[in-house]
Amino acid sequence: MSKRGGTSRRSFEKQPCPFSLRCHLMETPVAAAPAGDFFPSFLLLGFATLVAALLGAAHRLGLFYQLMHKVDKASIRHGGENVAAVLRAHGVRFLFTLVGGHISPLLVACEKLGIRVVDTRHEVTAVFAADAVARLTGTVGVAAVTAGPGLTNTVTAVKNAQIAQSPVLLLGGAASTLLQNRGALQAIDQMSLFRPLCKFCASVQRVREIIPTLRAAMAAAQSGTPGPVFVELPIDVLYPYFMVQKEMVSAKPPKGLVGQGVSWYLENYLANLFAGAWEPQPEGPLPLDIPQASPQQVQRCVEILSRAKRPLVLLGSQALLPPTPSDKLRVAVETLGVPCFLGGMARGLLGRSHPLHIRQNRSAALKKADVVVLAGTVCDFRLSYGRVLSRSSKIIIVNRNRKEMLMNSDMFWKPQVAVQGDVGSFVVKLAQGLQGQTWASDWAEELRQADRQKEQTFREKASMPVAEHLNPVRVLQLVEETLPDNSILVVDGGDFVGTAAHLVQPRGPLRWLDPGAFGTLGVGAGFALGAKLCQPEAEVWCLFGDGAFGYSLIEFDTFVRHKIPVMALIGNDAGWTQISREQVPCLGSNVACGLAYTGYHKAAMGLGAQGLLLSRESEDQVVKVLHEAQQQCQGGHPVVVNILIGRTDFRDGSIAV
C-alpha cells in the first residue's frame, strides 16, 4: 500500500470532502468551542507579544548587557582614547586631519600617545597624504575629518585611493547617535556616500565597539585587493560621559509620567553608550587574507615562459605590495632576466639605466613579444583595453583582483593563464622555477636599441627653440641630471608631467608617486606631505603643471607651519595644455584652456615659503637655480620654483580623455 505524506490511500478515501465537513459543522453549532475559551487565548497571545516587545526594547537599550557591564560615571576617559590606542597598536605614526569639533577627542588622544597630528588646509589633502603613507610604507595611512562637508570634501581622494588600491583608513565624525535623521548640524547619510567607495564601512554606535570595529577596518584595508575603508564615529561615542550626559539628559527633575518616561529612556540610552567602554580588549592587528598563486599555476607559467623566445614582463603597482620587500622583488626580476616595463609604484624598481628596464616604445615591443607577463598590470586604457597585445602572444596575467585581472578579456585579448594572487610573491616563485634559464640576448638588445633611438629624438627636441620662455624638454633633461639618488618624485599635472614621465627616472623603488589610473589632479601637496614625513632624509621633488598647482598652493602654508621642506617645480606654460592640444585642432577653440604666467613663486613667498623664478632671461642658470632650491630645502624651507616654459610638439597626439 503506497503512502504519500504519511497517509494511506485507503484512509484518505474514507475522509469526507472538505465541503461536506464544513456543512456538517454548520449544522451542528454545539461542536464549536465555547465562546468564553477564545478570550484567554487572545489574552495569552497579547501577553506574549507584549513580553517579546519589552524584551526587544530591553535588548536595544542594552539593559541585559548593563547587568554584566557597568558604567563608570565618574570616569573622564573618552572614546578618542580608544581610537588612538588602536592606531598606535597598528604602528600608525601620522594622522592627517582638518580639525572639527566632531573629532577633537581623537586628535587630542593621538597627540598624547605620540602619533603626530598634521593638519592641512583642505580635507582632500589629508587623505592624499594618508594615501602616500600607505604606498610608501605598506601599512595603512590614516586621515580623520569632521562630519558633513568635512567628509564630502574627501570623496575625490577616497575614490583615487580605491582605484589606486591604497589601504587608507578614513575616520569621519558624525552627529550624535540619538540625533541621526533629526536635522542635526552637518548630519547627512554618510554611510550611503562611502559604501560605493570603500571596502569596509561601519558606524560605531557604542564606545565599546570602537576597538573591534577599527581592528576589522584595518585588516580589511590590507587584505585581498587593498583599498580605502571608512569608520564613522558619532560625536557621543568620542566625548566623555559627563559631557554627553550634560547634553543628553536634562539637569532638572522631569515632570509628569511622560517626562519621567523620556528621562528614564535617555538615562538608559546613555548607560548603554558607555557600558563596558573601558574594559580591556585586544588592540593589535588581525590576521590578513592575502591570496596566493597555487604551485600548479606557478608551474604552468614556468613551462610557458621557459619556451619563450621573446618574453616581456610588465610590472605594475601591485608588485610592490607587502609581504614581498622591494629588494627581494628586484633580485627576482634580475634573476628572471626578462626585459621589463615598469609602471605605477614599480617605477624605479631597477634603479637608473638598468639593462633589463625598457622605457620607450612599449606598444611596439608588445606586438613582437611571444610571451607577455602582466604582473599587476591590467588591460585598461593604458594598454588600449588589451588591443596592444598581439593575438599570437601567450599572455600570463596575475592580479589580486579577479574582475580587474580579466578586464576586456572577452573583447580584445585572452589570457593563457590567469592567476588571482599576490603579484610580488608570484614573481619570486616564477624566478625560482626558472633558475638558470637564459634567453637570447638579441631580443633585449633590440629593445634597448629602440630606446636609444627614442632618446636621440628627445635630445633633438630639447635643442629646438620655442617661441617664448624655456624649452620644457630641455628643462626636464636638466632636472634628470640634477636629481639626487635619495629623491622621491611626486608628479601632479598633465602635459608637463606627461613629458617628465619620458625623461625623468626615479632612482629606486617606491620613489615615484603619481595619482594612478584615475588621473586625478591635485594630489601633489598631499603626496609630498606624506612622502617627506615617511622619509625625512629624502629630497621630495614635486613636478607640477601650472593648472594642477592651483590645487596645492595653499598647502605651502601647511608645509611652513609643520616645517616640511619640499621642492615644487612648476612647468608654467599659462594653460591647460594637455586639453588644448586636442581641443584646438578638433574643435577649433581654446575656450577655458587659457591661464596666465602667474607669479606662483611670489604667492608661495606670501605663505612663508621660498620662491624662485626661471625664465628665458635665466636660461643658462637652470641647474644653478635647482641647486639653490635644494640648499633652501636642506635648510628646512619649502620652495617653489616657477619655471616659465613655452610649448613644443613633444606630446602632440597624446590623449586627454
Residue 288 C-alpha cell reads as: 590578513
Q: Point out the domain boundary residue: 207, 241, 274.
A: 274
Q: Are residues 493 and 560 in the same domain?
A: yes
Instruction: Report how far apart, in Å, the C-alpha atoms of 125 and of each of 92, 553, 559 are.
Output: 18, 11, 12
Q: Name the maximum alpha-carbon separation found in the chain.
A: 117
Q: What is the pLDDT of residues 105-161, one digit of tens each?
A: 999 999 999 999 999 999 999 999 999 999 999 999 999 999 999 999 999 999 999
Is residue 183, in this structure, part of any structural domain at all?
Answer: yes
Q: Please give the tally of structural domains in the chain.
A: 3
Q: Contact, 82 vs 210, CB < 8 A?
A: yes
DSSP code per residue over 500-554: HHHH---SSTT-EE---TT--TT-HHHHHHHHHHH-TTSEEEEEEEHHHHHHHTT
Residue 541, classified by CB atoms within 10 Å of its CB into exposed (0-12), middle (13-18) or buried (19+), is buried
Q: Are residues 504 and 619 in the same domain?
A: yes
Reported as a pLDDT band with limits 50, 70 and 90, residue 523 is very high
Residue that is written with C-alpha cell 580608544 in the block: 82
Q: What is the pLDDT of residues 257-279, one digit of tens each?
A: 888 888 888 888 899 999 999 99
What's the CA gap between 615 and 475, in Å, rounded?
11
Q: What percent of the chain is predicted at pLDDT more than 70? A: 91
At residue 24, the pLDDT reads 39
Instruction: Report how far apart, in Å, the C-alpha atoms of 105 and of each of 80, 119, 189, 271, 492 are.
Output: 5, 15, 22, 20, 34
At residue 249, the pLDDT reads 84
CATH number, domain at 142?
A: 3.40.50.970
At residue 657, the pLDDT reads 61
Residues near 414 by Cβ (< 8 Å), separated by ≥ 6? 395
Q: Are residues 134 and 270 in the same domain?
A: yes
Q: Point out the domain boundary residue: 401, 418, 445.
A: 445
Is residue 652, in this structure, part of any structural domain at all?
Answer: no
Reference 638, options 647, 629, 648, 646; nearest CA is 629
Is residue 459, in this structure, part of any structural domain at all?
Answer: no
Residues near 544 by Cβ (< 8 Å), separated by ≥ 6? 492, 493, 496, 497, 524, 552, 568, 569, 570, 571
At residue 256, the pLDDT reads 85
Q: What percent of the chain is predicted at pLDDT more than 90? A: 78
What's the CA gap between 596 and 581, in Å, rounded?
17
Least confident of 50-54, 243-247, 404-408, 461-465: 50-54
Q: Specify the amino acid at residue 623.
A: V
Reported as a pLDDT band with limits 50, 70 and 90, residue 90 is very high
Q: Are residues 315 and 411 in the same domain?
A: yes
Q: What is the mean pLDDT of residues 628-647?
A: 96
Q: Are residues 436 and 563 in the same domain?
A: no
At residue 603, the pLDDT reads 97
Reported as a pLDDT band with limits 50, 70 and 90, residue 1 is very low
CATH number, domain at 426?
A: 3.40.50.1220
Residue that is written with C-alpha cell 582632500 in the block: 124
Please give the residue range of the domain that contains residue 313: 295-445
Q: Point out the domain boundary residue: 394, 410, 445.
A: 445
Reduced to 3 states, what is the DSSP secondary structure of residue 27?
helix
Residue 470 C-alpha cell reads as: 624655456
Is residue 425, in this structure, part of any structural domain at all?
Answer: yes
Q: What is the pLDDT of residues 466-493, one digit of tens each?
A: 888 999 999 999 999 999 999 999 999 9
Q: Are residues 214 and 312 in the same domain?
A: no
Is residue 544, in this structure, part of any structural domain at all?
Answer: yes
Q: What is the pLDDT of residues 187-208, one digit of tens each?
A: 889 999 999 999 999 999 999 9
Residue 84 C-alpha cell reads as: 588612538
Report whether pLDDT(20) > 70: no
Q: Are residues 493 and 408 in the same domain?
A: no
Q: Are residues 415 and 491 in the same domain?
A: no
Q: Are residues 208 and 302 in the same domain?
A: no
Q: Contact, 190 vs 151, CB < 8 A?
A: yes
Is residue 331, in this structure, part of any structural domain at all?
Answer: yes
At residue 655, the pLDDT reads 59
At residue 59, the pLDDT reads 65
Q: What is the pLDDT of residues 295-310, one digit of tens each?
A: 999 999 999 999 999 9
Report whether pLDDT(23) > 70: no
